[in-house]
Amino acid sequence: MIDGAARDRLIARMLMVGVRGASEDDPALRADLDACRDAGCAAVILFDVDLPAMSALTGAGVTRDEAKARAVRNILGPRQTGALTEHLKRFLGDSAIVAVDQEGGDVARLSRARGFPCTLSAAGCAALDESGRRSEAAALARTVADAGFTLNLAPCVDLALNPANPIIAGKRRAYAAHPSLAAACASLVVEAHRAAGVASCLKHFPGHGSSTADSHLGFADITQTHSPELEWAPYRMMFDALGRSAVAVMTGHVHHRLFDPDHPASLSRAWTTGVLRERLGFEGPVVVDSLDMGAVTGRYAPEEALVLAINAGADVLLDCNNAPGDPRACPAPAMHEAVARAVTDGRVVGGIERLALSAARIEATLVGRPRA
């Protein structure tokens, strides 16, 4: 018989959701945190821009730049963000994970526009000499740590193999086209975050840099463009150098029909377990890229996607709840209920023992990380 209380605790540990609101007095934040409490969820991710609000503004004729400035989500400035993250930690408890996407350059939730220090893109960082790269990595980690975050969903180790790629090379998110340079630069970022007491997450396995499409909008098919050994190499190098459970890895919504004809890597056991864990030897937590992205929502019902992600081998079930379109209530309770149903009726391979393995990985790598 399944122990319901134990099952619920383990499911809760696997959930990470986006929350709305920039202060503890904000009714939207109160509602979302109440929902997190109901679901037992202790992991959240923050953003500077609320995309549902931004899409509503642009739909009403507001310019994109003005809409972006007005559609505030969580992050207004350094002091306010620090107060918000401290409140979240108090509310969520000692095992809280407060995450952010802070790669640098264009992918900076802690942006210059919000009063944070300017950060270089990955490509800009790679153009520096060794000393400059170390300084830039340290500055990036310090910005994240000073704002109170415990997990940075960075660095991006996709390779700049397709210069026309709209979401990787087009935003200068790749350090280089060569895996050894990408791994060297990314390792400095991980080490700097570790020294600052912040966990890191490599992304987007198995490689988004050769794609021709943006997985925020739909499947990014890499069947004809992916170079397996080349694009896996940064992961292999970093696992060897840093340890096989020293970081998290985010799996991307990229589709390679020869590896899995039906599902993107994020929802594919062939990729997440077969390649990342068994072939590359990764032992840390796997974070599925946000389940509210078009690549997933356009093809899967929410419960189906959750079950596929778990059975693929994912440990952290991420729903940023920040996609363009109509706003949604906090998804944590519905996610919890969906996974509980799947465990109870046997759709989660391995059952409660499988959930326990994920919780252990998360606790070991992402929770309560001391300064080096």
User: For the segment 157-202, what is each residue's pLDDT rounded down to a tens digit?
Assistant: 999 998 888 889 889 999 999 999 999 999 999 999 999 999 999 9
Question: For residue 267, how far is the Cα from the chain centroid?
Answer: 15
Residue of 259, 248, 364 whose CA lies nearest to 314: 248
Q: Which of these is catalytic: 193, 216, 256, 336?
A: 216
Of the pLDDT bands very low, low, confident and very high (cuts 50, 70, 90), residue 211 is confident
Better pLDDT: 191 or 212: 191
The whole-chain average pLDDT of the chain stands at 95
For the whole model, what pTM was predicted? 0.96
Maximum Cα interatomic distance, the chain, rounded to a whole number of Å:
59
Residue 219 binned pLDDT confidence (cut-offs 50, 70, 90): low
Q: For 273-299, what is each residue's pLDDT tens digit?
A: 999 999 999 999 999 999 999 889 999
- pLDDT tens by residue, 308-326: 999 999 999 999 999 999 9
Of 218, 127, 126, residue with least CA distance to 167: 218
Tens of pLDDT, residue by residue over 49-86, are 999 999 999 999 999 999 999 999 999 999 999 999 99
Of the residues 289, 292, 315, 319, only one is catalytic, namely 289
Residue 48: per-residue pLDDT = 97
Share of the chain above pLDDT 70, in %: 96
Q: Determine the pLDDT at residue 216.
A: 57
Instruction: Find the mean pLDDT for residues 87-93.
Output: 97
Q: Looking at residue 371, what is its pLDDT?
A: 47
Tell me the angle at which helices 351-366 and 4-14 cross, rounded to the nearest 10 degrees.
40
Alpha carbon distance 47, 31 (integer Å): 17
Where would I find the beta strands (DSSP E) of the chain?
A: 15-18, 43-45, 97-100, 102-104, 107-108, 151-152, 199-205, 220-221, 248-251, 254-255, 286-288, 316-319
Is the confidence at residue 217, as pLDDT, over 90? no
Compute the average pLDDT of residues 300-311.
98
* CATH superfamily of the 11-366 domain: Glycoside hydrolase, family 3, N-terminal domain (3.20.20.300)
Enter the tokens of residue 220. 């990014």
Q: Are strands 220-221 and 254-255 parallel, antiparallel or unpaired?
A: parallel
Q: Can you give the pLDDT at residue 214?
A: 55
216 is an active site residue: yes
Say how far apart CA 343 and CA 317 lie, in whole Å.
Answer: 15
pLDDT score for 109? 97
Is 345 designated active site?
Answer: no
Q: Please write down the long-range contacts of 256-261, taking CB distance under 8 Å and 24 or more positions apart.
A: 256/206, 256/221, 256/222, 256/223, 256/226, 257/221, 257/223, 258/223
Q: Are strands 151-152 and 97-100 parallel, antiparallel or unpaired?
A: parallel
N-to-C CA span, the chain: 42
